[in-house]
Structure 1
Amino acid sequence: MSEADALPVGLVHARQGIIADANAWFAEWAGTTPENVVGRSIDEFVVHAREDLLSKTDAAGPWVMLSRDAPERAVMMSRHCAGEADVLVLSEASERWRALSSLRRRYALADRTRARLELIMDSSVAFATATTEQRLAELLADATARAYGAEESTVYFHDADGSSVVAAGRDPFSGRFDPEVLIGRVSEPRRVVTAVGPAAADRLALGLGSAMETAGVEALIAAPLHHEEMDFGAFVSWFHHERTFDDEAAPLAEALAGQAAQALATLRLQARLAHAAMHDEVTGLPNRRMLEGELEKIVGSSGCAVLFIDLDEFKDVNDRLGHHAGDRILRQAAERLRASLRADDLVARYGGDEFVVACPVTDASTVREFAERILGALNGGPEDATALRASIGVAIASPESGMPGEHLIRQADLAMYRAKGAGGNQVE
């Protein structure tokens, strides 16, 4: 199975709306095989998709699109440009579409609930257009405050450690109450909670009532942000006036939180895909594609030195001990290179056992000293179990030289071969 076929989303390469390649997810969603979609218009599977791609040439989406064969099925489609082709990322949106359609039918006759539905629809579209988590959090805070007439709303996202941090809005308690306790009340059972008055607040979480009194908060409504098995945090709307909640308050909170959570899941998936496209899978370093794009910027702004690094005798080790051992050596080299860099330097895995370091320095002696330090780091110290030998070639370009980054890399590559020809484990 290819990496693209293992993705939990559809991946389609298209030129002028004609499919050039598609992964297994998209083919299965379309009810056919990857081979049978190649050469066909995306419109044959997704309503108005080709029309939108051709007419909205500068738009990246995402858009909610319907299946041609089954209008009750929907996908969220976004576009990423890759030269002359479009890379389309499609994720399942049928549940969202059904939920919105159901809400539309349910509340069609009631003015008040129709206004809420319009808010959900508008928020759904707004959430889908957010390109950063910060913007999504701000949109959710604004939508929930408007939905309930709250003075303010706070959005909390879980960070990498699982702690809740304020992503939008503010914490009204200023340290008088740990919001983590309140978020736990909604996240663990995944339910919307309300509290009207201090007594009800204390029943929800001990100490919350007195904190609300001190902060002038009369009531609150909180909902978890979750999508499938992923928990992202919660939102809380605060009221500094008397407030009661009707039977529609919780479903509205669930709808807004659900829409935002799905948008957040999509953002994070797209971020992982974008990161994977620009980084090496073995070492985690930027890859050749990212290096070439960044190098042009560095050369044009301040000049640049490029160090082309080739690990000596790596092929012998790889052939003798296998690819797992080779990958371990590559990761060790990457770690030592990272540790040697300064804030403005860039290191990338160029391919095979080759690495490239770009640094915004044009003084030859400084660059030479830097290259020798990197070589020493690769060689390792007495405490290092593995000593890595390397040949390093250096090339320098001033911003006035107009030298393309590709040419600068080629010069450094030639210098590296001179270092290797002179016995290796040295700087040329």
Structure 2
Amino acid sequence: MPAQQGAVPWGDTGPGLPETHLACAFVQAVDALLCIIDAEGRIVLANPALQRFTGLDRDALLGRRFVEVWVIPGDVPYAEEAVQLAIRSGKAYPLEADWVDAHGGFRRITMRNTVLRDDDGQPWAIACVGLDVTEERAREARLHEKTRTDPLTGVANRGALFDELALRLSTTGCGLLFCDLDEFKRVNDQYGHGVGDRLLAEAATRLVEVAGPEHLVARFGGDEFVILCSVASEATLADLSQRVVARLGMPFPGPDEPLSIGVSVGATIGRPGEPSDDVIARADRAMYGAKSTERRRARRLP
């Protein structure tokens, strides 16, 4: 089949089509954000894609310092230092940052940077190929969040709990409440898993309301929940425990009538350097102690 008229085979510039012509056509047509920044941080090339991104035409961009156009204010010192370091060292590295678009919004851009040298081999500018990865990073964040969230209750899952607990124990320590729903098995057996699942979801919602944004609520497994407290004090844990018992002691909606379940809470303080498993086990033992005390009280009732 004869070649399409005007087509140029890859690697062959063809008659009348020098490499510079092809390079210019590529720069003009590509969707990537292409620019060249000189040693003073001024824009000496900005392709049409970058012009559309910034909302500025070629004449408005050339000669301006790039940090005044698409770099967010808090990143200006780091961006300027990156350019200067590349010019001094002759090496540029991949970077990723938020850029300001034509509407004043932030877009996540991953950059591949190359140092350009003059005829004497001296670095004089940085060539940047930028790709907008905003949607990709948002998808990754959503997937990451799913791996850290219990699908039934919407609170953190066991893995996320242990990650955060290990982080807290590596720094300042933390407080921890281990919460076990007292009568959940009876409700689940009597009314079925559908009612049981709704009860668990409602219990998680109540725990989040009581704990507030400063503490992490996680489903440890089954009908067990953990509240990881940013403040490690016995007084704080005692107050939070009382509020948890009161809130979960209130009736839950049921298929026929309100359901009462109650909760047993064990509290402990995790100190810096302690293993996560030890802190969880200690809170678990405290919870079982609280459950046994409640049972003894119940047996003494007339």
CA contact (8 A) 2:53 2:102 kept: no
CA distance 1:383–1:146, change in 2 (3 Å): closer
CA distance 1:329–1:141, change in 2 (3 Å): farther
- Paired position in structure 1 for 2:137: 267
Q: Tell me which structure has the larger Cα radius of gyration.
A: 2
2:282 equivalent among 390, 406, 411: 411
2-side partners of 1:313 and 1:332: how far apart? 14
- Paired position in structure 2 for 1:168: 100
1:359 equivalent among 210, 229, 234: 229
- Using structure 2 for the length normalisation, give the TM-score: 0.57
Structure 2 alignment gaps of length 5 or more: 1-6, 36-48, 62-68, 71-98, 108-130, 298-302
- Paired position in structure 2 for 1:420: 291
User: Is 2:58 the counterpart of 1:149?
Assistant: yes
1-side partners of 2:295 and 2:32: how far apart? 61
Secondary structure of 2:274's aligned partner: coil
CA distance 1:266–1:338, change in 2 (3 Å): same
1:397 equivalent among 252, 266, 270: 270
User: Is 2:183 the counterpart of 1:313?
Assistant: yes
CA distance 1:360–1:171, change in 2 (3 Å): closer
Shift of 1:364: 1.6
Shift of 1:104: 9.9
1:123 equivalent among 9, 14, 32: 32
- Using structure 1 for the length normalisation, give the TM-score: 0.42
Q: Deviations over 1:42-84 (max 9, x none)?
A: xxxxxxxxxxxxxxxxxxxxxxxxxxxxxxxxxxxxxxxxxxx
1:284 equivalent among 150, 154, 159: 154
Matching residue's letter, 1:393: G
1-side partners of 2:215 and 2:179: how far apart? 15
Shift of 1:392: 0.7
Secondary structure of 1:376's aligned partner: helix
2-side partners of 1:423 and 1:331: how far apart? 24
Q: What are the residue-to-residue correspondences of 1:48-67 with 2, within 5 Å?
A: none
- What is the aligned residue count? 214
Stretch of structure 1 that moved more, 381-390 or 300-309: 381-390
CA contact (8 A) 1:306 1:394 kept: yes
Structure 1 alignment gaps of length 5 or more: 1-101, 127-139, 155-166, 173-232, 234-258
CA distance 1:104–1:404, change in 2 (3 Å): farther
2-side partners of 1:288 and 1:269: how far apart? 22
